[in-house]
Chains A and B, each alone.
Chain A
Amino acid sequence: MNQNAALSAGISTASVLLGIAVMAVVTYLMRMLPLVLFRRRIRSVWLRSFLAYLPYAVLAAMTVPAAFFAGGSLPATLAGLAVAGVMSWFRMGLFPVAAAASTVACLFSLIPGLS
């Protein structure tokens, strides 16, 4: 069935493969070029500060607001995020926090009448 699905959509195997190849090349080049070409230490204080803050900014932008739509029902999501927030504040590791967020959301979803 699945093998014929692309065919029924009118897309040839060759164009699927070519499309994926183009996606892969562009994605890889974006990641590889700065890492390979840029080997010096950056001297600009501003740029270095910018790059140091960047990971936290990227994470915050990815988390808010997307996290609020991630865990199924809103009560389950909020419960999972609240537990994860408190655990994070007290510096528990990445894996315990991630596991707790999922477990709490899953348990909360099972409470009848909430979701």
Chain B
Amino acid sequence: MTQSKRSLFLRGARDGLPICFGYLSVAFAYGIHSIEGGLPVWAALTASLTNFTSAGQVAGTDLILAGATLFEIAVTLFLINLRYALMSLSLSQKLDPGMSVLERAALAFGNTDEVFAVAMRRPGVLTTPYLAGLIFTPYVGWCLGTLFGATAAGLMPAVVRSALGLAIYGMFLAIILPEARANRAVALVALVSAAVSCLFACLPLLRRLSAGWVIIIASVAASSLGAFLFPIRETSDEPDEAPQRGAAQ
């Protein structure tokens, strides 16, 4: 039992490695950004240790440095991170039913976009040790990257820094393409979402929206269309329309 928990954690940690490398470079950029904006090193590191989110941290840091009110900071972070609520809702359907509230509350801290995507890709239910491992390596990468960026900004050659930035997108492709190849509904959803996202990047008025909003709008539109055109009527492990009530809780 202990051995299998350990191997599940290690499996998760290994699955999290590509995210870790991607985060190293993104957090590196965040570190540089915060220091250049006037934030002390300890503050940038504290933000990464306690927030563990990319777009929200950049926006929040900029607001702090601009002298914004706490209310403004809260509302902005709420809007940018609205997608996490959707992702947590989606993730809640895949968690081991025996997972305690405390475990859920602890694992929720690490539910980033990338952790979520890799977790959902894993077949079967998600266990606590696997998710803990999957969160562990990206978290280390995120915090170390921030520290490196904040302290050693400019030491890393630009070529290496930007090439590292591509790692995370390579990983995204490795998640999307095999599934899209096997399932035309997923292919359509991914294409529509990408198209909407491009639309927002190109059109002069729409491009003023923050990245968090673009992700929400594009993914909600594409997933709604997918659910409408290709509803998944799975023969699930649980009898959903079971006549007896009260049994499944």
Residues of A within 8 A of B (CB): 2-3, 5-6, 8-11, 15-24, 26-28, 30-36, 38-43, 45-67, 70-72, 76-77, 80-81, 84-85, 87-89, 91-95, 97-103, 105-106, 109-110
Contact = CB atoms under 8 A, between A and B. Distances in A.
A98 B170 contact: yes
Given A11-B67, A55-B121, A71 B166 contact: yes
B11 to A, nearest CB: 12
A32 B197 contact: no
B93 A58 contact: no
Interface centre among A34, A91, A94, A105 (most CB of B within 10 A): A94
Nearest to B226: A53
Pick the 4 closest A-B CB pairs, nearest first: A101-B170, A72-B162, A9-B38, A106-B163
B50 A20 contact: yes
Contacts of A10: 67
Nearest to A39: B92
Contacts of A106: 159-160, 163
A98 B18 contact: yes
A58 B201 contact: no
Contact of B174 (A40, A80, A94): A94
B226 A57 contact: yes
Contacts, number: 340
Given A101-B169, A102-B167, A105-B162, A48 B232 contact: yes
Given A31-B84, A34-B86, A36-B105, 12 more contacts: A3-B42, A6-B65, A11-B65, A17-B43, A31-B88, A33-B88, A39-B92, A60-B197, A71-B163, A101-B167, A102-B164, A106-B159
B78 to A, nearest CB: 6
Contact of B165 (A28, A70, A88): A70
Interface centre among A57, A87, A93, A110 (most CB of B within 10 A): A57
Contact of B108 (A18, A31, A48): A31
Nearest to A67: B169
A57 B193 contact: yes
Contacts of B64: 11, 15-16, 19-20
Nearest to A50: B227
B104 interface: yes
Given A41-B240, A49-B231, A81-B173, A35 B108 contact: yes
Interface string B51-63: 1110011001001
Interface string B152-194: 0000001110111111111111111111110001100111111
Contacts of A91: 178
